[in-house]
Structure 1
Amino acid sequence: MFPFMIKHTYDMGVVGNCAFLALIGTDTAVRWLCWPRFDSSFVFGPLLDEQKGGECSLRPVAPGFTSHQYYVQNTNVLCTEITAADGSYRVTDFAPRFLQYERYYKPLMFIRKIEPLAGTPRIRAVVRPVGRYGELELTRRRSSNHIAFLGLEEEIRLTTNIPLTYVLDEEDFVLNETKYLVLTYGAPLEAPLESTAERFLTSTLAYWRSWVKSTSISNFHQAQVIRSALALKIHQYEDTGAIIAASTTSLPEAPGSTRNWDYRFCWMRDTYYILTAFNNIGHSEELERYFHFIANISTKVKDKYQPLYSIGGQSMLTETELPLAGYLGDQPVRIGNDAYTHIQNDVYGQVLVALLPLYIDCRFQDPSQPTPLALVTESLRLIEATMDQPDAGLWEFRHIAQRHCYTYLFHWAGSHAALQVARRLGDEGLAAKASHLLELAEDRIEQCFDKERGVYTNAIGSTDLDASTIQLITMGYLDPASERAQHHLVELEKELMTPEGLFYRYRHPDDFGTPETTFLICSFWYVEALACVGRLDEAVAEFEQLITYTNHLGLLSEDVDAKTGSQWGNFPQAYSHVGLVNAAYRIAKKMDKPNFVD
């Protein structure tokens, strides 16, 4: 099924506008597009099933073509140039996004511009959307200048200047002038086609370039940091502020592993790292939207926080398997994620750390809208209530419960954040409670310390190591200059690092066996830790090795096979791009001459 010894990469680019995302293959085919939300059914999903996934492509008729795919610099506008025996052409794909009427215009609209470059290429335009994850074939209704696809809650409409007969019959034609295809869900394009598409393209290019210019980053691998920042940006569902882990579901963590999960949800465990990334690049708008999403979730919590929620804040994310072929035949294909039922107690500290700026950062304070103190006191209460409760941990073990070191680290960090709020507000009672919980969390972390090996294990009473304990250094629990921090990192290297410098999450068996691939975010945590402990040259070398694991566009997956350098797991992985942004920031801050630019 899989060529194990050949390097596998996801040969796709991502476009989006903070309302939807689409993945485009190097052959111009839309491999993945969900409407109307990130977590809706795909309307184009050949990524998971070539037969049931529908099709949206602009392929050449002549065989043996070559392709060159790239982004317009500093934008999320994607170009795919195709060269065949009879000529060449360029497809420019984008999702419109720009400021209009004091709001961001971000319609459920996907625009494809096709330009002839040389010769007389013959191409075939295929547009065949589907519904209900491939189970529903849509009916077509032809009008004078568009085709309506019916059967979903709202109409999908294709407006184009390609002869409709060629599209309906899937007949090839000579591309001798610029053509446009505008696909919409719901509200259709009610304007001139060519001039509107060009205006939207110009405005979208201008928006992304302006966004990048307002990004505060160093000169350290600036181009890659910009690409990661742009990828991270379009994983935010702007309507609510939620940020999804990835745009896809069921891309396997390793071939045949059955670790095929739906990542189109917002994980509370990612909160600290995502907020840190946006703060590091100086983007407060995304921060604030995410703050409000977390705060909204917080006000609905009764007994416990879930590890993850939908982008609309829904809590029921029932996991089911679909009768689809799977990516390259790898099954199962899942939608929903049963992890929502798990106990994952680090989330309370994550929430406190996330909400801290609303109380102490002047940029986010509005005297007319005071932030409820109940959010802090309730999260502290939950930390206290779960202090000695075993949980599924950061990696969401399905049938393993332990008292994890990482959970206690966030009990510690959350209590520290609450202490800052209490001191800012002069609340002595809250300060006393936060200080007490801080001490309790520190005591539990120290119970994870293996004195013989000089390393913190993954849980109290366990001998297993876990890459998440790298965060003891990067989050400031351990003094980076201390011998304990240095030795802890060395012991983790011995057990979890590959010769290529990649890191496994852990090496002990879990519910699905022993992990086969390395987890990129752990490798970026390692880079940060190297910078923290003063091993800066090694940090730079490791970072530069890690960025070789991107695809041709600079996009990262969740996992990497250390032996082949293959990409696996859901893609693009926001968590991995967050890791890259934060690692680059940490290195730049440690360099003698960071040379920051705004």
Structure 2
Amino acid sequence: MDQTHKYDMGVVGNCAYMAYIDKEADVKWLCWPRFDSSFVFGGLLDKEKGGSFKIIPETDSFETSQHYVKNTNILTTEFHLSDGSGFKVTDFAPRFYQYERYYKPLMLVRKLEPTKGIPRVSVQCDPVGNYGKRVPEKQQGSNHVRFLGYDQQMRLTTNIPLSYIMDNTSFVLTGAVYLVLTYGVPLEASLESTVEEFLIKTKRYWRRWVKSTSISAFHQEKMIRSALVLKIHQYEDTGAIIASGTTSLPEHPGSTRNWDYRYCWMRDTYYTLNAFNNIGHFEEMEDYFRYIENVAQKESNHLQPLYSITAEDKLIEKELSHLDGYLGNKPVRVGNDAYTHIQNDVYGQVLVSLLPFYADNRFKNPNRQYTRQKIMDVIDKIEETMDQPDAGLWEFRNKAQRHCYTYLFHWAGASSAEKIADYFGDKSMKLKARNLKKASAERIEACRDPETGVYMQAIGSKDMDASCLQLISMHYLDPNSEAARKHLAGMETELKGSDGLFYRYKHSDDFGKPESTFLVCAFWYIEALACVGRLEEAIKYFEQISSYSNHLGLLSEDVDERNGSQWGNFPQTYSHVGQINAAYRIAKKLDLPNFL
């Protein structure tokens, strides 16, 4: 595919759900009541069976533009019609603090208002259920439309004449009108005044949240957008943070690498908590820690790579053959078989993630004492799995190896356990952690190619892996050492693409050779550059990699090096976390102050 592909969509959310809205104000994706529920609008995966929620100009000749209201997750889509008239659609998910808690209903609010002249528009609202297999009956109420057949009631409350909604006929837009779609509790209050109040309160909430964020002057606007994106991927009810709100967007056309990412990966815990820490947001860290604690308390002999947003451990993977798939890319998958994999890096990642709650005085909490045995259990699992081959962070389905990345997190986890042992005053824990740190380092060194000085993907492997860049950024290798320089140079020669894009690896896996670069790897590369003092290159590549966003600054999982196309699930928290952490690393090197 020579033409550049971008995800021309914005995302709104309130930490209970997310809605994806394209540049023509069509809701292309919305799952209710949870991130991992069936979609009620899924045009992203099937134009016919996915339903729709569109605002349609009467004329076919128009242009649109789309932007976020500054420092918020409120999205505006503006229409400029060929007859000179125009209108805009403001979409948001209400979120604000009241009655000592956050109000975050399953409610999508759409405000339509003319901007020039008197445009004619129509509204098409046709939700579906059970991944497009069920079409609900529409029933007209006094000032709302009911959609029957869901587990809870779904309503569209509006001050547009209902006949126009039911018949999909156009009407003149002479002033502001409102559409409020709810799942569960409907909107019973006054429509116009309530929506305007919710809009003001939601705008105020997001701007206050941004004001409380610690972000340096280095590309501050990009960092604010990444932080806002990351925030709405947290399911606040449990504290879980999902990898993405979508499923089955292909890593590359025809690759069949179409995965469901609406779950919480333990691996991402370290990177995400690091990002929240870097921007000074401790509430989200503590919520995420609460989720991790619930996972750690499960009766199991090992930690899985991922869990559901409610810490469910069975995520059975199914293919939905009745759906066309994104741009015809099949299969469409729900669930993720990676939950069955052995990925032993998770133990070190949990320990590294927990460290701030024991070593940082800002998190002192006397109730942490009960987790002492759980900490020891995780340390024991590092010892137990030290020489066990695993699927690795890229989740190879038909290959087990003793991965360098796994040993890096054994080493980092043991280093964290040393410090946690000081909190408990536990000498035996500290001694065991030290021994495991040494054992992990020995196995990392076994991954090093003696001729090139490059650390390979696994013991005995000749394949390079971008995850090994983190040997530098996590200070296993001294960034000022010759060993770090050689390792980085070798990785660049093999895996670096144009503009600083980076491949995960280039060898064949279960699905052939990867065709797209993986965006978070590019940000790992940028961090490594900053660490070794190649700061000008780090800044240059940061700006180039950030340019692969869509029109709203949102980043995908993958980028095609040949034409800059976005692929993979979207937006990808991994990519936005990578951008935040890379910017933070550069800002520290530049000695730029953080703004609060």
Structure 1 position 424, deviation (Å):
2.6
1:369/1:273 Cα in 2 relative to 1: closer, same or farther (>3 Å)? closer
Counterpart mapping for 1:448-597 below 5 A = 448-591=447-590, 593-597=591-595
Q: Is the 8 A contact 2:347 2:413 kept in 1?
A: yes
- Inter-partner Cα distance in structure 2 for 1:423 and 1:41: 46
Contact 1:224–1:554 (Cα < 8 Å) also in 2: yes
Q: Distance in 1 between matches of 2:494 and 2:365?
A: 48
Structure 1 segment 76-225 matched on structure 2, within 5 A = 76-86=73-83, 87-225=85-223
CA distance in 1, matches of 2:374, 2:167: 58
2:337 aligns with 338
How far apart, in 1, do the equivalents of 2:205 and 2:418 lie? 40
State the TM-score, normalized to the length of structure 1: 0.99
Q: Which residue of 2 aligns with 1:380?
A: 379
Amino acid at match of 2:291: F
Q: Which residue of 2 aligns with 1:315?
A: 313
Counterpart CA distance in 2 for 1:450 and 1:588 is 33
Q: How much does 1:359 deviate?
A: 1.8
1:453-481, Cα deviation, whole Å (9 max, x unpaired)? 11000000001000000010001100000
Q: Give the letter for the 1:405 counterpart.
A: C
Partner of 1:10: 7
Whole-Å separation in 1 of the counterparts to 2:312 and 2:387: 28
Tell me: CA distance 1:185–1:144, structure 2 relative to 1, closer, same or farther (3 Å).
same
Structure 2 residue runs of 5 or longer lacking an equivalent are: none
CA–CA separation in structure 1 for the residues paired with 2:366 and 2:415:
24
Residue 24 of structure 1 aligns to a residue whose secondary structure is strand
How far did residue 499 of structure 1 move? 2.6
Residues 415-445 of structure 1: per-residue CA shift (max 9 Å, x gap) = 1111111123221111111111111101110
1:264-275 → structure 2 map (5 Å cutoff): 264-275=262-273
Alignment map for 1:350-499 (pairs within 5 Å): 350-368=349-367, 370-499=369-498
Q: CA deviation at 1:141?
A: 1.8
Trace 1:228-243 onto structure 2 (pairs within 5 A).
Answer: 228-243=226-241
User: What is the SS of the residue equivalent to 2:369?
Assistant: coil
Moved more, 419-428 or 469-478: 419-428
CA deviation after TM superposition for structure 1 residue 84, in Å: 1.2
Q: Which residue identity does 1:352 align to in structure 2? A: L
Conservation of the 8 A alpha-carbon contact between 2:158 and 2:179:
yes
What amino acid is aligned across from residue 211 of structure 2 in structure 1?
A: K
CA–CA distance in 2 between the matches of 1:243 and 1:371? 24
Deviation at 1:369? Answer: 5.4
Structure 2-normalised TM-score? Answer: 0.99
CA contact (8 A) 1:141 1:149 kept: yes
CA deviations over 1:475-496 (Å, ceiling 9, x no partner): 1100000000011000000000
Deviations 1:545-564 (A, max 9, x none): 01110000000000000110
In 2, Cα distance between equivalents of 1:363 and 1:150:
49
Q: CA RMSD in A?
A: 0.8
Trace 1:277-316 onto structure 2 (pairs within 5 A). 277-316=275-314
- SS at structure 2 position matched to 1:588: helix
Find the aligned partners of 1:31 and 1:63 in 2 and give their Cα distance: 20
CA distance in 2, matches of 1:268, 1:125: 42
Query: Using the alignment, how far apart are the partners of 1:449 and 1:62 within structure 2?
Result: 64
Matched with 1:32 is 29
What do residues 168-189 of structure 1 show as CA deviations (whole Å, max 9, x unaligned)? Answer: 0011111111100000000000
Mapped contact 2:499–2:545 kept (Cα < 8 A): no
* Amino acid of the structure 2 residue aligned with 1:503: F
* 8 Å CA contact retained: 2:122, 2:169: yes
Shift of 1:151: 0.4
Tell me the number of residue pairs that the alignment of Structure 1 and Structure 2 aligns.
594
Aligned-pair CA distance for 1:371: 4.3
Query: Are 2:240 and 2:264, in contact at CA under 8 Å, matched by a contact in 1?
Result: yes
Q: Distance in 1 between matches of 2:116 and 2:79?
A: 10
* From 262, 266, 271, the counterpart of 2:260: 262
**1:582, CA displacement in angstroms?**
0.3
Q: Residue 137 of structure 1 aligns to a residue in which SS?
A: coil
- TM-aligned CA deviation for residue 596 of structure 1: 2.2
Deviation at 1:334, TM superposition (A): 0.3
1:61 aligns with 2:58: yes
Contact 2:305–2:346 (CA under 8 A) maintained in structure 1: yes
Amino acid aligned to 2:356? P
Cα distance in 2 between the residues matched to 1:121 and 1:211: 36
* Separation (CA, whole Å) in 2 of partners of 1:463 and 1:482: 23
**One-letter amino acid of the structure 2 residue matched with residue 218 of structure 1:** S
Q: Where in structure 1 do 4 or more consecutive aligned residues deviate above 6 Å?
A: none
Match for 1:125: what amino acid? V
Alpha-carbon distance between aligned partners in 2 of 1:562 and 1:354, rounded to the nearest angstrom: 33
- Conserved 8 A contact 2:95-2:102: yes
Distance 2:336 2:498 in 1: 33
Deviates more, 1:78-87 or 1:105-114: 78-87
Gaps of 5+ in 1: none
CA distance in 2 between partners of 1:500 and 1:421 (Å): 41
